[in-house]
Amino acid sequence: MESRLIPEKNDLTDRIVGRLVAYRRLLMRLMSQDVSLVSSKAIGDWLGIKSSQVRKDLSYLGEFGKRGVGYSVPRLLSDLSGILSPFSPWQIGLVGLGHLGEALLGHSAFFGHNYEIVAAFDVNLSKVGHYFSDRPCYDLKDMPSKIAELGIGILMVTTPASVAQKVVDLGLTSGKIIGVLNFSTAKLSVPDGVEVVDVDITVELEKLLFRLKLQEQRRLFDQ
């Protein structure tokens, strides 16, 4: 859990970080099963990637393995956590308390880690003032002041696409927002220094459907 500097270069790409998160998740499971040693091959097999990929990824962080032996599970876990954990916990605000918003509030990953959803915002006054999965819902109008009050630095946007830019602009007026996790299909524009990550469920589904269409076509015509 000790938080340390990110080693050497800033050359840890999004892609690599995504895998590091998966490694950490696996290591936590192995840890709880009292496995103390693991090889890059074993990690790769669990996650469906090549062992060389695992070794390359881990080598960016330093030399954590023992040749001929493998990696110490507790050691590697604590090193990964050090890299991935923030310097101090993040407070997250969720904007748009529809079905998806409620689902994310109920998601166990967003309770009490190094990041936490601390409040929700909505325009629907029947929701304002009530609690959802133990988090208060405030009026969207009060968002800028509540962001400052609660130390929120990140917004999760689960509004319809048509209002996503508007709520983000409102949040940005607080001057405290540095990151946005965007679940809407809108392409957000934000000032330099604010990071946006898009999570587009329907695009993922359509990629799957297209792969299935290709399969079907192959079955019908090729071979």
Question: Looking at beta carbons only, is 52 or 162 nearer to DNA?
Answer: 52
Question: Looking at beta carbons only, is 66 or 130 nearer to DNA?
Answer: 66
Question: Looking at beta carbons only, is 24 or 146 nearer to a copy of itself?
Answer: 24
58 within 8 A of 64, measured Cβ to Cβ = yes
Residue 66, contacted partner among DNA, a copy of itself, none, CB below 5-8 A by kind: DNA
Residue from the set 37, 100, 123, 163 that interacts with a copy of itself by CB under 8 A: 100
1 burial class (0-12, 13-18, 19+ CB within 10 angstroms)? exposed
Residue from the set 18, 129, 151, 175 that interacts with a copy of itself by CB under 8 A: 18
Reduced to 3 states, what is the DSSP secondary structure of residue 186? coil
Residue 208, contacted partner among DNA, a copy of itself, none, CB below 5-8 A by kind: a copy of itself
52 binds DNA (CB under 7 A): yes
The site string for a copy of itself over 191-210 (x = CB under 8 A, - otherwise) reads: --x-x-x-x-xxxxxxxxxx
Copy the structure tokens of residue 207. Answer: 């990629």
178 within 8 A of 195, measured Cβ to Cβ = yes
CA-CA distance, 168 to 99, in Å (whole number)? 19
218 binds a copy of itself (CB under 8 A): yes
Dihedral sign for Cα atoms in the order 46, 49, 52, 57: negative
31 binds a copy of itself (CB under 8 A): no
Question: Looking at beta carbons only, is 41 or 176 nearer to DNA?
Answer: 41
39 binds a copy of itself (CB under 8 A): no
The site string for a copy of itself over 136-155 (x = CB under 8 A, - otherwise) reads: -----------------xx-
H or E stretch covering 46: helix 40-47
Residue from the set 1, 10, 15, 193 that interacts with DNA by CB under 7 A: 15
109 within 8 A of 135, measured Cβ to Cβ = no
The set of residues, in sequence order, having a beta carbon less than 8 Å from that of 42 and lying 6+ positions away, is: 70
CA-CA distance, 183 to 199, in Å (whole number)? 5
Site for DNA in 19-48 (CB under 7 A): 39-41
35 binds a copy of itself (CB under 8 A): no
CA-CA distance, 25 to 73, in Å (whole number)? 12
Instruction: Name the site residues for DNA (rule: CB under 7 A).
Output: 13-16, 39-41, 49-53, 55-56, 58-59, 63-71
